[in-house]
Amino acid sequence: MPTVNLTVNGQPRSVEVEGRTLLVELLRERLRLTGTHVGCDTSQCGACVVHLDGESVKSCTLLAVQAEGGAVTTIEGLAAADGTLHPMQEAFREYHALQCGFCTPGMVMSAIDLVKKHPDGMSEHEIRDGLEGNLCRCTGYHNIVKAIAAAQEVIHGRRATLMPAEA
């Protein structure tokens, strides 16, 4: 069986897999990082989004062996060691950008990549367009969009702290 060597949330890992093992299976079943979810089997829902070498990918549509030598970040790898949330996580909390929470890890990982790709900031329309690959069946997206709009200001350094959500 092939062995995959990769970095997951900063930790070097070496895992024996089958050729057909998906990256999401390696993360969830072998490394027990169950924050990354699987919501469909058609590569559409985005619950499984992680970062591979800094770019968002659907870990259900990537073989573990394709991540050989790569650096993977999952939702578990975002918060600081002392538990301080990533600004995107903090924004999702502040803006109540989730209800059941199933899609949230993928939403947060996609949102971070989206913000990184738009250093000049995004309009509401651009944020909605950018979430094409992530489905949420509870929120109607409104608070997710607001959270990302607020988080981008902090991530790009235009604000020191999140603008509080309206009560």
Partner 1 sequence: MYDFAYHKPATLSEAVALLADPDARPLSGGQTILPALKHRLDRPSALVDLSGIAELCGIRREGDRLVIGAMSRHGEIEGDATVKAAIPALARMAGNLGDTQVRNRGTMGGSLANNDPAADYPSAALALAATFVTSAGRRIGADDFFQGMFATALEPGELLTSIEFPIPEKAGYAKMRNPASRYVMAGVFVARGPEGVRVAVNGAGPGVFRQAEMEAALAADWSPEAVAGIRQDPDGLNGDIHGSAEYRAHLVTVMARRAVLDAG
Following DSSP, what letter does each residue of 106-166 receive, concatenated? HHHHHHHHHHHH-TT---HHHHHHHTTT---SSSTTHHHHHHHHHHHHHHTTS-SSPPPPP
Q: Which of residues 17-56 bind partner 1 (CB under 8 A)?
A: 18-20, 22, 41-44, 46, 49, 55-56
Stretch in the footprint of partner 1 (CB under 8 A) among 26-34, 80-88, 132-140, 150-158: 132-140
Determine which residue in the list 16, 29, 124, 132 makes contact with partner 1, applying CB under 8 A: 132
In this chain, which of 3, 11, 34, 66 binds partner 1, going by CB under 8 A? Answer: 66
Min. distance of Cβ 57 from partner 1 in angstroms? Answer: 6
Which of 130, 145, 150, 154 contacts partner 1 by CB under 8 A?
Answer: 130
Residue pair 34/24 in contact (Cβ under 8 Å)? The answer is no
| Residue placing its CB nearer to partner 1 in the complex, 41 or 166 | 41
Strand bridging mode 11-16 / 3-8: antiparallel
| Binding-site member from 24, 33, 114, 122 for partner 1 (CB under 8 A) | 114
The DSSP bridge partners found for residue 56 are 51
65 binds partner 1 (CB under 8 A): yes
Would you say 78 and 108 are in contact if contact means Cβ atoms under 8 Å apart?
A: yes
Question: Judged by CB under 8 A, does residue 165 bind partner 1?
Answer: no
Taking each helix axis from N to C end, the angle separating 104-117 and 142-155, rounded to the nearest 10 degrees, works out to 50
Query: Could you tell me the two tokens for 83?
Result: 């538990």
- Interface residue list for partner 1 (CB under 8 A): 2, 18-20, 22, 41-44, 46, 49, 55-58, 60-63, 65-66, 68, 110, 113-114, 117, 130, 132-134
